[in-house]
Structure 1
């Protein structure tokens, strides 16, 4: 006797349809809480080895997944796009009750394998990584607002350092939000202020060089507001906020690094030139246990860089990537390629060689396409390292 529980998860409830052989013998609704899951538990225990299927619905399905894992039930968590395709032949109307039935019928027809259950650490890393991304978005917003406010108080200040980023820059902005605050000092006094402001060790000569440049910029500036204007206070606040958020980002990475100490794949991923601990933490946070994918191509589909092709009659569209799936992971991998290429001069690899060779033989308009190709090759390499518990060997890589 084959028993299938199709569960359609919504915000606070879930519809359950129980299919035994060819007949739906029971349909009921549960709440996504302890009493609701106890009802589901009782129903599951009344059958021998029931199959369970539900759609992945983001945060709403997390509660059901956690309950099933705690109770040691095997389940199939299916991608909504996959379920929509597989249920299309027998679903005409759409209601929660019909969706629960449809999921059970899809399981009976396609016999999906149980979902690979990752260790709890991967879920925690995922949550931390998403918080990291939220902080990153907040930093970008704070920096954009800081740039806007500086245009009123001291726009030239953005040229004092090579980057408008980091602790030293934000400390200088907080201390010298208006040129009048700079013109109060001579070069040597400014150098002392700079040495005091930097969170890192700095030589006196570099401090004097920055001080001289800062003084020249202040003398040239024609500020739009006075030194006691609200815009000056806004600049100070936004610089403090950017620094605070950047500190929170670093704390998240430190926490993720501590949490992942027992994961062997970390050392294998770190062995690839151009990939640092921050990238590794973000990748694991988004991809989870890489061993759960049956192939590197499955990871490509998961992050949406699998190629799609469209033909209709005489019309043929240019092939492109699907852009379905995990956009965060796609963005992280895109930036990873840029890091790998930037370090290629000292640490070449098969990925940097591929990118540079393609760039030399192609126009600059194809940069994004080349990068996507490099991402696919990087995924294949990293997947190989993790699956085989192997470190990256540059000699083998470049020889191939």
Structure 2
């Protein structure tokens, strides 16, 4: 029995091997993430006459090249949560941290935990693509949120209150605001035109753009400009910052919509999409994101395991006569999945399903018991994920 520990780094890994007697049969050595280097490692593994268990930590995307190569060559490989490995290393009194020591530690883990290791079986390419796109979507939305904050702060200095007038309409309200700010740039520019000239000019511009109530809004905007106090001058520095903000907002909105469309296209081809889409609170935008964060539900042994993966579980805490009852969720799981789940709970609160809905009713019940609204939402999310698991697993059992 041989346990191989691989400590993953960027572009290279440190590898060590130990047999079941504790003897180090491969001293820690580095292998670059290249075809030639990894082929040498694979050949060494295949030359062993004993059973080999390869263990590596889940380290973002850095471990993918090694994992892919070993999996394609039919090597037994298990990917272990980095937190589990950290807790395993905490048993040592003298805690040292080097790549060589980590590789030996992982190899020891492979030997000691060989009966409970889970072999990596791969995952449908569609789920991998969805997860990849979901990460890209989250990053772009994060950039968009920061740009939106900067844009609003800038408007407070040059056009305070303008968004209250131009964003009351639904649909393309952001586009109206961006177009207007790009054209007029500052309240001082509006005031210099005079009331009649501005109203006439804005009415013609809004008609050309296809926006409604041009004359009425023009009067409101002019009155707002006259009564507002601007704190930043109308100069090139202001205009450059303003145009850059709008450019980022437009591009991130287009990019996020494009990614979401691709996610919807992929998710639509999965068997569970129709069932997921039928769940209350899950719309066209949330369905592909939810499937992307959960992945193939068959990899979970139970609904409880799915909640644990989301970090939405409350592990029991008991000692002697004491048993904890007021427990918080662990948050040791996918924060992205919890975020999507929270958005689904928010959608339920807004839509308020009229027909019987176990999740919504459970959330309202918890709120009526005095639970904080966020606590009630996460409790309802726990129930939602259990329903999700049951329905999707039942689907796959019938296929």
TM-score, normalising length from structure 1? Answer: 0.84
What is residue 182 of structure 2 aligned with on the other side? 174
Distance in 1 (alpha carbons) for counterparts of 2:43 and 2:230: 72
TM-score, normalising length from structure 2? Answer: 0.84
Offset at residue 275 of structure 1 (A): 1.0
Aligned residue for 2:14, secondary structure, equals strand
Counterpart check, 1:270 vs 2:277 = yes
Aligned pair partner of 2:120 in 115, 121, 125: 115
Which whole-Å deviations, capped at 9, do the CAs of 1:158-186 have from their partners, x for residues lacking one? 21123896323322332333235556446
Counterpart check, 1:20 vs 2:23 = no
Q: Hey, which bits of structure 1, 4+ residues long, moved more than 6 A?
A: 311-317
**Aligned positions of 1:224-373 closer than 5 A:** 224-225=231-232, 227-228=234-235, 230-308=237-315, 318-345=326-353, 349-362=357-370, 366-373=372-379
Distance 1:168 1:292, change over 3 A: farther
Which whole-Å deviations, capped at 9, do the CAs of 1:45-79 have from their partners, x for residues lacking one? 21365322111111221221222233343421001
**Aligned positions of 1:119-198 closer than 5 A:** 119-160=124-165, 161-162=167-168, 166-180=174-188, 182=190, 184=193, 185=197, 187=199, 189-197=201-209
Distance 1:168 1:295, change over 3 A: farther
What is residue 101 of structure 1 aligned with on the other side? 104
Which whole-Å deviations, capped at 9, do the CAs of 1:268-316 have from their partners, x for residues lacking one? 2111122123222222333322221112222222222221466789997
Distance in 2 (alpha carbons) for counterparts of 1:220 and 1:90: 69
Distance in 1 (alpha carbons) for counterparts of 2:219 and 2:356: 39
Distance 1:26 1:225, change over 3 A: closer
Distance 1:18 1:266, change over 3 A: same
Which whole-Å deviations, capped at 9, do the CAs of 1:210-251 have from their partners, x for residues lacking one? 445434433433334554553244323312321221111111
What is residue 39 of structure 1 aligned with on the other side? 40
Contact 2:15 / 2:30 at 8 angstroms: preserved in 1? yes
Contact 2:15 / 2:103 at 8 angstroms: preserved in 1? yes
Offset at residue 379 of structure 1 (A): 0.9
Which whole-Å deviations, capped at 9, do the CAs of 1:307-327 have from their partners, x for residues lacking one? 146678999794212222222
Offset at residue 355 of structure 1 (A): 1.4
Distance 1:52 1:14, change over 3 A: same
Aligned residue for 2:161, secondary structure, equals helix
Contact 2:2 / 2:52 at 8 angstroms: preserved in 1? yes
Q: Which runs of 5+ in 2 are unaligned?
A: none
Number of equivalent positions: 382
Offset at residue 188 of structure 1 (A): 6.3
Distance 1:165 1:328, change over 3 A: farther
Contact 2:143 / 2:252 at 8 angstroms: preserved in 1? yes
Contact 2:19 / 2:111 at 8 angstroms: preserved in 1? no
Distance in 2 (alpha carbons) for counterparts of 1:91 and 1:385: 47
Distance 1:30 1:234, change over 3 A: closer
Aligned residue for 1:155, secondary structure, equals coil
Distance in 1 (alpha carbons) for counterparts of 2:303 and 2:216: 50
Contact 1:6 / 1:18 at 8 angstroms: preserved in 2? yes
Which whole-Å deviations, capped at 9, do the CAs of 1:13-71 have from their partners, x for residues lacking one? 22222233424322333122222211111112213653221111112212212222333
Distance in 1 (alpha carbons) for counterparts of 2:266 and 2:142: 23
What is residue 393 of structure 1 aligned with on the other side? none
Distance in 2 (alpha carbons) for counterparts of 1:228 and 1:88: 59
